Amino acid sequence: MNKDLNMLMQGVVAALPENELAKKLASGKKLVIKLGMDPTSPDLHLGHAVVLKKLKQFQDLGHKIIFLIGDFTAAIGDPTGKSKTRPPLSKEAIAKNTQTYFEQVGRILDSKKVEIRYNSEWLDKLTARDFVGLCAKVTVARLIEREDFANRLKQNQPISFHELLYPLMQGYDSVELAADIELGGTDQTFNLLMGRLLQEQYAQEPQVILTTPLIEGLDGVQKMSKSLNNYIGLTEKAEQAFGKLMSISDELMWRYAKVLLLWSDEVLTQRKLAVFEQKEHPMNLKKEIAHAIVALFWSAQEADSAQQQFESLFQKKDLSQAQEVALPAGTANPLWIVDLLKTINAVTSSSEVKRLIESKAIEIDGITVSDFKALITWQSGMVLKVGKHRIYKLT
């Protein structure tokens, strides 16, 4: 049992409380393990993969895994980390975002052994009397202890009443599912503790909370997020993921090795020393880490292929290995640089193109693009370099 506990605690920021986790594991019963995610975007990324890998460890130990899709709470919008009210999502947007979750979760978990639930199953059915009864379980003072609420109050920024209800809704999910353990990122700590509190109020044995670290996005500053376009999506091609990993800073490289690959502090110290003493080249180490991450979340075969393509493109300058893309029939010519890059799915926004141009990170046939308003006369065989490690060839 200590072996299982040690494995489950590896890479975890906190277990609240840890002694109860040991007791639950020692009970020998099949535990209910809950992970909830709001479908706020259609793509899961490596930031989500951290907690999904932890869930997989519980699954491998034979426990009951519940992947909860917060289709009701997504309509409220969790303001965690936000300095202002997040606009609620429409039913159509929620349904669209939910569609791809199953395939993506199946990349890490055994989907045949996962129970998929939606919190609209019970939250939609709460009567006004039920809802008032739920609200009576928690004080306003407790709710505004939450860091982002407290900060907004100090700054005289508005808090909508529906935002205060979000932790109650998420916490009540644990009551309905009778969760033994709930997983989540460190930004969810308050909401997870609310689940413990409400379970006690409803005379249930309170769940144990396991929080996993958040990882910074490719910019190395803010947490990985699609809205910030600093993410590596689980549905991206392995070659694209490998290229993005090779573009990160050396400091972030060590962070990814620790959080995604679970390298121990001892191993990290040894490898850093080897680089410092010039016994190991940083480029080779970064390729090793990128290969290991792609092998873990894609496949070993795709990792081999991605590394081979990267080395051909960026070390041997073999442009025959560039990602080939075709423009749709009827595409205008010439085409605004932003529209061209969006059409080949190289970027997601005009602001991203502007940032790349300002940093001289876009080249067409070896010539740097310096004008955000540039019109590009495109042709078959044209090679576009976007950022450090993305090269496309028009066909």
Span 52-80, pLDDT tens digits: 999 999 999 999 999 999 888 887 765 55
pLDDT given at position 88: 65
pLDDT given at position 346: 84
pLDDT given at position 121: 95
pLDDT given at position 83: 46
What's the chain's average pLDDT? 88
> Average pLDDT in the 22-49 region?
90
pLDDT given at position 193: 93
**Higher-confidence residue: 34 or 319?**
34
pLDDT given at position 78: 59
Task: Report the distance separating Cα 232 and Cα 146, nearest Å.
Answer: 29
216-227 pLDDT tens trace: 998 888 889 877
> Average pLDDT in the 166-173 region?
93
Residue 319's pLDDT band, with cuts at 50, 70 and 90, is low
> Average pLDDT in the 286-300 region?
95
pLDDT given at position 161: 83
Which CATH fold topology does 2-212 show?
A: Rossmann fold (3.40.50)
pLDDT given at position 35: 96
Percentage of the residues of the chain whose pLDDT score is greater than 70: 95
267-281 pLDDT tens trace: 999 999 998 888 998
Check pLDDT > 80 for residue 348: no
> Average pLDDT in the 96-119 region?
86
**Higher-confidence residue: 339 or 74?**
339
Percentage of the residues of the chain whose pLDDT score is greater than 90: 47
Give which of 244, 243, 245 is closest to 289, Cα–Cα.
245
Check pLDDT > 70 for residue 31: yes
* CATH 1.10.240 domain position(s) in the chain: 238-321
pLDDT given at position 38: 84
* CATH 3.40.50.620 domain position(s) in the chain: 2-212
Check pLDDT > 90 for residue 133: yes
363-383 pLDDT tens trace: 888 889 989 998 888 888 888
Buried b (16+ CB within 10 A) or exposed e, 342-366: bbbebbeeeebbeebbeeebbebee
In CATH, 324-394 is 3.40.605.10: no
Which residues, in sequence order, are bridge partners of residue 362? 386
Q: What is the architecture, at CATH level 2, of domain 238-321?
A: Orthogonal Bundle (1.10)
**The two structure tokens encoding residue 121:** 């199953």
* CATH 3.10.290.10 domain position(s) in the chain: 324-394
pLDDT given at position 87: 62
302 to 252, 344, 354: CA distances (angstroms)? 23, 22, 32
74-107 pLDDT tens trace: 877 655 554 455 566 777 777 777 777 877 888 8
pLDDT given at position 189: 92
Task: Report the distance separating Cα 26 and Cα 56, nearest Å.
Answer: 19
Residue 50's pLDDT band, with cuts at 50, 70 and 90, is very high
Task: Report the distance separating Cα 136 and Cα 97, nearest Å.
Answer: 33
